[in-house]
Chain A
Amino acid sequence: MAHALRDRRGPPLLDLIDLKTYFFTRDGVVRAVDGVSFQMHHGETLGIVGESGSGKTMTALSIMRLVPAPPGRIVGGRIMFQGNDLLQLREAQMCHVRGRDIALVFQDPMTAFDPLYRIGEQIEEAIEWHLRLDRKARRARCIAALERVGIPAAPERARAYPHEFSGGMIQRAMIAMALACEPKLLIADEPTTALDVTMEAQIVDLLRDLQRDTGMGLIYVTHNMGVVARIAHRVAVMYAGTLVETAPTKTLFGTPKHPYTLGLMRSVPRVDGDLSERLQAIEGLPPDLIDMPDACPFAPRCPFVMARCWDERPQLRMVGEDHHIACFADV
């Protein structure tokens, strides 16, 4: 596998430092993202995995500073993007980062487009907002973007409305829109959840190829371990708003160290596995994130739990090359 464009020696493209995003609701404080830190480099694909409610989507939204503002708020940490802290920018400046330097691809492509405007118009809107190009150049760029994601008859399709597209096609269109201004970082938030399996494979491959061709950073948020294995260079596992393990993909799948990751691996069926063996689910249920105490969030379900786990939150510590886990136990 060619990782030629991956430049791990240079400064990181994205450096999250202790990011905290809380939601202040009537029933209590929800710590959706509770002290998440990781780094990402140019040309690298980072997979963020976790169950629903683990905070992965909220992390992605926080990077874009698109957290729903009345209940939610980024309360702490730093988001260093190419050396600048995004949290220090004024909103007007942030508007020029979004869509241009960092782009986001959403989960449900059909609802991500305004139903009243044509697809081409919406893509060109992004181009017009960020780049000073005349109409012809904008049009050309838009068509080129659509073609690059594999949409046939691009000029005609650009004049169509969102409801006239199928699921797979419109997800490609959304990717085209995200890439129209050639961002340095693309965040894909579960882009294939709304699609069927064959579509999913195509989209995943498309993203992988695009990432290789452009050398941009790609953050792929998902709950699907199979996709992660296929596309990511490194993986970050999240649980209940915290990062519990980060490692290169091979390492994570080969020698997972965090009890949660271990549980996940055991619960996923394997092609080469013994058919008579039962899948081992992780005991218990994910916690209610309201008013979480300062303890390891996985403690109630952890087979390796110790007294210490109930009293303080474990920080990330190194357990191997480029391999960190947030756990007190030695597995």
Chain B
Amino acid sequence: MTVGSRASFGRLGAQRRAQRRSSMWLDAFRRLRKNKLALAATGLTLGLVLVAVLAPIIAPYPYDQPHFGSSWVFPFRDSRFILGTDSLGRDMLSRLMYGGQVSLLVGVGAELISLVVGVPLGALAGLRGGTTDYVICRLIDIFSALPYIVVVILMLALLGPGLGNIFIAIGLAAWVGPCRLIRGQVLSVKETPYVRAAISMGASQRQLILRHLIPNSISPVIVAAALGIPTKIFAEAGLSFLGLGVRPPTPSWGLMLGESFQFARGYYYMVLFPAVLVALTMLGFTLMGDGLRDSLDPRMED
């Protein structure tokens, strides 16, 4: 009897797995699919993003259109204004939708800014080492010595009000996070045996960056970005709440909260809806980021 006559049991797992072509992304995707919570969160987040993006199309009214006869309408009373109206008779639903636009714009945009600034600086510091690294590290120290919100407010005071400036302030103030992350990644990747081998075989710096650095550093950056967005959304909402952020009539959930806070006793819905939306959006991004992080982290599950 030859060995191969009945080559395997139902699952000769070790052999099979070795042959199955899998990439890091495929594995991550598979793991993500199993994580129900993360999936729900991703769905929620995408839903919110969709509504925000499509606001100009699907919102029943423009956000600044007042209806003088119908102010202070409670939700579910008037079929024209499903979620009620505010003090000027502006439709809550529309304002909430457009507010989502602002929040997401700032959240994602500011995150991108922090990446655009932080990542190259961090990579530079890690790759060059020496004085460059020293200088950048001192800068990191200085910025880290102050709480994030403090830095944002200082920058805002510097730049003045306006949507664009808020963007920049919130984004720029957070450059330290991605910078540190990338720098750490670069430093550790530099020490790995395969990079050392590549260097000794004469790989150019560009090859190193493209072939080794980027693939290894991408996943932590993506996770950090997803998890960083809620902080930015929080910053924008908070600042607008205090009146330091977006200017009326541009709707922002934080601004809506700030304006209606004084009427909370009588018109709770004006406070409740934006508050819940902010919380939900942050929840969605956070859980999605958590799910991404768990799925990209090679575990010994199988």
Question: Are A and B close enough to touch in the complex, i.e. CB under 8 Å?
Answer: yes
Q: Which residue of B lies closest to A295 (CB)?
A: B9
Chain A residues closer than 8 Å to B201, beta-carbon distance: none
Those of A277-292 within 8 Å (CB) of chain B: 283-288, 290-292
Q: Mark B11-27, 1 if CB is under 8 A from A, else 0.
A: 11111100000000000
B8 is an interface residue with CB less than 8 A from chain A: yes
Q: Which residue from B6, B9, B15, B302 sits with its C-beta under 8 Å from A27?
A: B302
Those of A247-293 within 8 Å (CB) of chain B: 283-288, 290-293
Q: Is the CB–CB distance between A288 and B1 below 8 Å?
A: no
Q: Is the CB–CB distance between A288 and B12 below 8 Å?
A: yes
Q: Mark A288-304, 1 if CB is under 8 A from B, else 0.
A: 10111101000111111
Chain B residues closer than 8 Å to A140, beta-carbon distance: none
Chain B residues closer than 8 Å to A295, beta-carbon distance: 9
Chain A residues closer than 8 Å to B13, beta-carbon distance: 287-288, 290
Q: Is the CB–CB distance between A284 and B11 below 8 Å?
A: no
A287-B12 Cα distance, complex, nearest whole Å: 5
Interface bracket on B? 10 to 19
On whether A285 and B9 interact (CB within 8 A), knowing A27-B302, A302-B3, A306-B1, the answer reads no
Q: Which residue from B1, B3, B16, B302 sits with its C-beta under 8 Å from A284?
A: B3
Q: Is the CB–CB distance between B11 and A288 below 8 Å?
A: yes
A144 is an interface residue with CB less than 8 A from chain B: no
Q: Is the CB–CB distance between A293 and B302 below 8 Å?
A: no
A166-B85 Cα distance, complex, nearest whole Å: 73
Q: Which residue of A lies closest to B302 (CB)?
A: A27
B69 is an interface residue with CB less than 8 A from chain A: no
On whether A300 and B8 interact (CB within 8 A), knowing A283-B3, A285-B14, A290-B13, the answer reads yes
Tell me how many residues of A have a C-beta within 8 Å of chain B: 21
A291-B3 Cα distance, complex, nearest whole Å: 22
Chain A residues closer than 8 Å to B302, beta-carbon distance: 27
Q: Which residue of B lies closest to A289 (CB)?
A: B13
A284-B1 Cα distance, complex, nearest whole Å: 15
B7 is an interface residue with CB less than 8 A from chain A: yes
B193 is an interface residue with CB less than 8 A from chain A: no
Q: Is the CB–CB distance between A285 and B11 below 8 Å?
A: no
- Tell me the smallest distance from the CB of B117 to a CB of chain A, in Å: 39
Those of B243-302 within 8 Å (CB) of chain A: 302
Q: Which residue from A293, A299, A306 sits with its C-beta under 8 Å from B10?
A: A293
Chain A residues closer than 8 Å to B16, beta-carbon distance: 288
- Tell me the smallest distance from the CB of A88 to a CB of chain B, in Å: 33
Q: Is the CB–CB distance between B9 and A287 below 8 Å?
A: yes
Q: Is the interface of A mostly helix, strand, loop or mixed?
A: loop
A310 is an interface residue with CB less than 8 A from chain B: yes
A301-B1 Cα distance, complex, nearest whole Å: 11
Q: Is the CB–CB distance between B12 and A285 below 8 Å?
A: yes
Chain A residues closer than 8 Å to B8, beta-carbon distance: 300
A304-B3 Cα distance, complex, nearest whole Å: 9
On whether A300 and B1 interact (CB within 8 A), knowing A27-B302, A286-B14, A288-B14, the answer reads no
Q: Which residue of A lies closest to B16 (CB)?
A: A288
Q: Which residue from B1, B6, B11 sits with its C-beta under 8 Å from A290?
A: B11
On whether A305 and B1 interact (CB within 8 A), knowing A287-B9, A300-B7, the answer reads yes
Q: Is the CB–CB distance between A303 and B10 below 8 Å?
A: no
On whether A300 and B6 interact (CB within 8 A), knowing A27-B302, A306-B1, the answer reads yes
A299-B1 Cα distance, complex, nearest whole Å: 11
Q: Is the CB–CB distance between A293 and B3 below 8 Å?
A: no
Chain B residues closer than 8 Å to A284, beta-carbon distance: 3, 12, 15
Chain A residues closer than 8 Å to B10, beta-carbon distance: 291, 293
Those of A308-322 within 8 Å (CB) of chain B: 310
Chain B residues closer than 8 Å to A285, beta-carbon distance: 12, 14-15
Q: Which residue from A292, A300, A310 sits with its C-beta under 8 Å from B3?
A: A300
Q: Mark B161-174, 1 if CB is under 8 A from A, else 0.
A: 00000000000000
Q: Is the CB–CB distance between B11 and A300 below 8 Å?
A: no
Q: Mark A24-48, 1 if CB is under 8 A from B, else 0.
A: 0001000000000000000000000
A131-B102 Cα distance, complex, nearest whole Å: 69
On whether A301 and B14 interact (CB within 8 A), knowing A27-B302, A293-B9, the answer reads no
Q: Which residue of B lies closest to A293 (CB)?
A: B9
Q: Is the CB–CB distance between A291 and B11 below 8 Å?
A: yes
A295-B12 Cα distance, complex, nearest whole Å: 14
A205-B12 Cα distance, complex, nearest whole Å: 39
Chain A residues closer than 8 Å to B9, beta-carbon distance: 287, 292-293, 295, 300
- Tell me the smallest distance from the CB of A245 to a CB of chain B, in Å: 20
A305-B2 Cα distance, complex, nearest whole Å: 8
Chain B residues closer than 8 Å to A286, beta-carbon distance: 14
Chain A residues closer than 8 Å to B1, beta-carbon distance: 303-306
Q: Is the CB–CB distance between A310 and B11 below 8 Å?
A: no
- Tell me the smallest distance from the CB of B21 to a CB of chain A, in Å: 18
- Tell me the smallest distance from the CB of A192 to a CB of chain B, in Å: 24
A191-B9 Cα distance, complex, nearest whole Å: 33
A292-B8 Cα distance, complex, nearest whole Å: 11
Q: Which residue of B lies closest to A282 (CB)?
A: B3
9 example contacts (A-B, Cβ-Cβ < 8 A) are as follows: A27-B302, A285-B14, A286-B14, A287-B9, A287-B13, A288-B14, A300-B3, A300-B7, A303-B1
- The residues of B with any CB-CB pair to A shorter than 8 Å are 1, 3, 6-16, 302
- The residues of A with any CB-CB pair to B shorter than 8 Å are 27, 283-288, 290-293, 295, 299-306, 310
Known: A291-B10, A301-B3, A302-B3. 6 other contacts (CB 8 A): A285-B14, A285-B15, A288-B16, A300-B3, A304-B1, A306-B1
